Homo-oligomer: A and B are copies of this chain.
Amino acid sequence: MAKGEETRERIVRHALQLSSTEGLEGLSIGGLATDLGLSKSGLFAHFGSKEELQLAVLKLVAERFEREVLLPAFRAPRGEPRIRRVFDRWMDWMNDAAQGGCPFVAASFELDDKVDSRPRGYLVTAQRLLLQSLARAAQIAKEEGHFHADLDPEQFAFEMDGVMLSYSHWKRLLRDPKAEVRARQAFERLLAASRRMVNQTAS
């Protein structure tokens, strides 16, 4: 059926927007209903529980990230160009995301301690997938000869993740106008290190 599905999507879209400032736990059924001109119970019926609503929000985020970041980036040529496209799209994603920053980032630090919650489980899966895609892109860059043969693709993903998180921290909390320049510089340094010598082991 069509009508219910449409309303449900309207709800989830708005819930995503709200959650980016209030957090997933800060979402309220009543508040959402008022915003959308629905009754509390009418809205609630679409999900059956608040947890299910949170899950729906996370699924929408994952779907959008796939569509707006990963898929377009993976259409770029294999190797370093593709990695750069991931970075550029990812930065755009960080800047968009409805003035509330990346919902994944917010959810990551909100749910990290909520063991055994379904939203957390889903988020972990989605984030692992995301970072594995990135690692795969780095692996391809090795095969193309753009990155050094000793490079650890997962380590690359770890460090690029750090750049994005630091960017979010400096821009959204600290309101540092240089945040974007710093992120780009950090990324360039990471790329440079990945091309040449790399991977001296710690201590």
- Residues in chain A within 8 A of chain B (CB atoms): 20-23, 25-26, 100-101, 105-106, 108-114, 120, 123-124, 127-128, 131, 154-155, 158-159, 161-163, 165-166, 168-170, 172-175, 178, 181-189, 192-193, 198-203
Contact = CB atoms under 8 A, between A and B. Distances in A.
Given A108-B173, A110-B110, 10 more contacts: A21-B113, A101-B112, A109-B173, A111-B173, A112-B173, A155-B185, A158-B182, A159-B186, A184-B202, A193-B193
Contacts of A25: 23, 25-26
Contacts of A120: 173
Nearest to A131: B174
A109 B173 CA distance: 7
A182 B154 CA distance: 9
B158 A186 contact: yes
6 contacts: A22-B113, A108-B173, A109-B110, A128-B174, A161-B170, A189-B198
A11 to B, nearest CB: 21
Contacts of A188: 200-203
A201 B106 CA distance: 30
